[in-house]
Amino acid sequence: MVYAPTQEHGKQVKIEDVPQEQRDIFSLTNEEVQELAKQAVQIEKHYGRPMDIEWAKDGHTGKLFIVQARPETVRSRGQVMERYTLHSQGKIIAEGRAIGHRIGAGPVKVIHDISEMNRIEPGDVLVTDMTDPDWEPIMKKASAIVTNRGGRTCHAAIIARELGIPAVVGCGDATERMKDGENVTVSVPKVIPVTSMRSCWI
């Protein structure tokens, strides 16, 4: 499965045949999976709590490395239930891949570069092209995140899940369609990405 040359919703990927000898190049062996599982158990035993663990495999030596471990924050909040009532629905102004199961609302802040991070206030809806680890301080302030690029495993999606805030990624042109200061609602449970608060109240 590879990305297709289209942004049409539901058609962004396509199936492509791969020779048999190349199909397992990026796969782990059963022994490697067991080794990672053992290391994960040791790490969680050390910290005494569930951990979100990232690993990497050296492309030359095949050696496995644990590159990051931090407290798990998604499943540990799985029993928390929040209910929202939308009294009316506004016009959809951007669509993409929905991340999370919550609703966020606030004024739009279109950020083109990390040097503008001081413009973000708590509760703003962060709208940008794409994020990376340098953006995390301002992502923690946002009530929702909207990006032009990215998929379900991109940086913005991962951090949004960890923070428990809604995100819509891969919108294509959100930074052009959404205007600074505009009040919006980001609703992802039903994949209603971004709607105008002028006619949509939480």
- The CATH number given to whatever domain includes residue 24 is 3.30.470.20
Q: Within this chain, do residues 61 and 116 fall inside the same structural domain, yes or no? A: no
Predicted local confidence at residue 84, as pLDDT = 63
Q: Within this chain, do residues 114 and 67 fall inside the same structural domain, yes or no? A: no
Q: Within this chain, do residues 52 and 124 fall inside the same structural domain, yes or no? A: no
Q: Within this chain, do residues 132 and 188 fall inside the same structural domain, yes or no? A: yes
Is residue 34 situated within a structural domain? yes
Listed residue (109, 190, 119) closest to 146, CA to CA:
109
Instruction: For 65-102, write each residue's pLDDT tens digit.
Output: 999 988 877 666 556 666 666 666 677 888 888 898 88
Q: Are 185 and 104 in contact (CB under 8 A)?
A: yes
Point out the least confidently predicted range of 18-22, 144-148, 157-161, 174-178: 18-22
Domain with 45, as residue range(s), is 20-72
Predicted local confidence at residue 81, as pLDDT = 64
Listed residue (125, 97, 94, 109) closest to 202, CA to CA:
125
Structure token pair of residue 95:
């669509």
Which residues face 67 on adjacent strands? none
Structure token pair of residue 80:
């928390």
Which residues are tagged catalytic? 155
Phi/psi at 11 (5° precision): -130, 20
Confidence label for 167 from pLDDT (cuts 50, 70 and 90) = very high
pTM of the model: 0.59
Confidence label for 111 from pLDDT (cuts 50, 70 and 90) = very high
Q: Are strands 125-128 and 103-110 parallel, antiparallel or unpaired?
A: parallel
Is residue 107 situated within a structural domain? yes
Is a pLDDT exceeding 50 seen at residue 150? yes
Q: Are 16 and 2 in contact (CB under 8 A)?
A: yes
Q: What is the tally of structural domains in the chain?
A: 2
